[in-house]
Amino acid sequence: MARPANAVMGKVLKLLTASPGVNTNLDTLAQLEQMPVTALTDRQIRAQNVSVELSDRSAEAGYPAVLVYCDKIANLLTEKFRAFSGKAHMVVEVRLSQDRIDGLEQLMQLYVEAITQLLEQNQGDWGQGMYYTGGYEVAFGPVKHGGRNFIQIAKITFEVGASSN
């Protein structure tokens, strides 16, 4: 069961880090909004599902961070004679932290918009039995104490259809 989830997760990581990818959208939005933003490096975009408390204790914790993971898969057997044909429920979690609370929410909205634009631009067949029909949901968490002083987390969830033998 982990194979379809890992394949979809790898594809989402490629979409985020490719050129043009999330940084292209981020640069365009930052210019429109006249806000300074930090481009995401490959080290900041990673496949990981770890709590903020644990990642803050890690020496590798850095912000902004984009974490990609599959939180559930469903083998719906929609295609006969396939070992797996169903959906992978994916999460792209954006974590931002800074020493001042001012502007944190606006910056978060910018990063989320860049990622959701990338998803909209990549609707359709992703190859290797994966397809994204569109649609996503964004949940913005409250600003809390953590990270560099204040931290906010947003989760972008979406489903990717997958099938494999």
CATH number for the domain that contains residue 29: 3.30.2000
Residue 122 pLDDT exceeds 80 = yes
Residue 59 pLDDT exceeds 70 = no
Cβ–Cβ under 8 Å, residues 126 and 44: no
Percentage of the chain modeled with pLDDT above 90: 72
Nearest-CA neighbor of 151 among 26, 30, 49, 53? Answer: 53
CA distance 118 to 115: 5
Query: What total number of domains does the chain contain?
Result: 1
CA distance 26 to 116: 11
Query: Residue 135 — pLDDT band, cuts 50, 70, 90?
Result: very high
Least confident piece of the model among 36-50, 81-95, 127-141: 36-50
Chain segment 68-109, per-residue pLDDT in tens = 999 999 999 988 888 899 999 999 999 999 999 999 999 999
Residue 38 sits in which domain range? 2-164
CA distance 65 to 102: 19
